[in-house]
Amino acid sequence: MNKTDIKSLSAEQIKQELQRFSVPGFHAKQIFKWLYRGVDSFEDMTALPLKLRSQLSDAFYIEKPVEIDSITSKQDGTTKYLFTLSDGEYCESVLLRYNHGNSACLSTQVGCKMGCKFCASTKAGFTRNMTVSEMLNQIDFIQRDKRQTEPDFRINHVVLMGIGEPLDNYDNVIKFLRLINAPDGFGISMRNISLSTCGVADKIKELENENLQLTLSVSLHAPNNELRSSLMPINKLFPIEELLAACRHYTDKTGRRISFEYALISGVNDTPECAKQLARLLRGMLCHVNLIPVNEIKENTFSRSTKEAQKVFTNILSDSRINVTTRRRLGDDIDAACGQLRREKLEKRRF
């Protein structure tokens, strides 16, 4: 018999599943809670009747997180984790530590098919979507790891900015977000969750109907179609006008400000002319621009904008009354940008 992945179920779904064992419904809530509190065998759910534990083991399995590598920055405590999944694939996650709390940068797919030219995650191509429980396990593992030395540790912010395109794994990602938000799950507030997309406009339209108070980040990186299509193939499918129309619709419907990500690449998209075009494009929108000096990766020759170019770019935007910040770099000494640890492992496996 094929066993069901219990971590992919909500408390309500577990309750429905339990009906076939004719046991009281409150056990569903207990089981659900344990799954988020580091219990990864039915045997260890000791408050349940023995018979039920064995019935559960026959019908369900608990996906376990397995870490194979981690590295912590001496500068700022950023930790980068590499996990193995049950089919031997790798997943990468990063823990970022801020004064206001702990943020986990999570992956949503094994590899990525989006092909952005500046991104390390997409270079080895796409393998498969991650399951709901694999996504959950990234948080579970990081919390368990840190609690060994800091008993009160908890992740309070989640950003879907690791490997993969979250809106290309739409159903699993939405389910995952609702589960981590559930009070008996990890209880992470929707307002502390950011979902980043390369611009899958039709899915942005779906997302606005989910009634989630999360922050939508859109990776823009260029202010015109010619440049954007040369950097991001998705732009050929959903050009800027279509993407921004979906974004405007999203902010109208949800009242939530969109965060536009813009990686500054020297001589490519960081000119004053690009800044002016960007300001014109975003004028009047409920948004914020997050500038990221590009992370240099060995697979291409893109280099980071000079401090001077960053300053000029920022000033042009703020003079046009666009809300703009530059992302603080964390984990510089451990190469914390996503995709790089997994790439290294894959390369080693090949040789």
Interface with ligand SAH (CB under 6 A): 114, 116, 118-119, 161, 165, 196-198, 219, 261, 263, 292, 294-295, 297, 337
**Closer residue to ligand SAH, CB minimum distance, 261 or 270:** 261
**Closer residue to ligand SAH, CB minimum distance, 78 or 197:** 197
CA distance 268 to 109: 28
Report, in Å, the least distance between residue 121 CB and ligand SAH: 7
Residues, the chain: 351
Beta partners for 4? 60
CA distance 281 to 241: 9
CA distance 288 to 285: 9
Report, in Å, the least distance between residue 114 CB and ligand SAH: 6
Report, in Å, the least distance between residue 316 CB and ligand SAH: 20
Q: 32: which 2 tokens? A: 């659900």
The gap between the terminal CA atoms of the chain, to the nearest Å, is 38
Residue type, 76: D
Identify whether 287 is a catalytic site residue.
no
Report, in Å, the least distance between residue 295 CB and ligand SAH: 4
Work out the angle at residue 288's Cα, subtended by the Cα atoms of residues 282 and 289, and round it to the nearest 5 degrees: 80
Per the CB < 8 A criterion, the answer to whether 197 and 219 are in contact is yes
The residue annotated as part of the active site, out of 63, 92, 134, 261, is: 92
**Closer residue to ligand SAH, CB minimum distance, 144 or 329:** 329
**Closer residue to ligand SAH, CB minimum distance, 77 or 233:** 233
Identify whether 91 is a catalytic site residue.
no
Catalytic residues: 92, 338
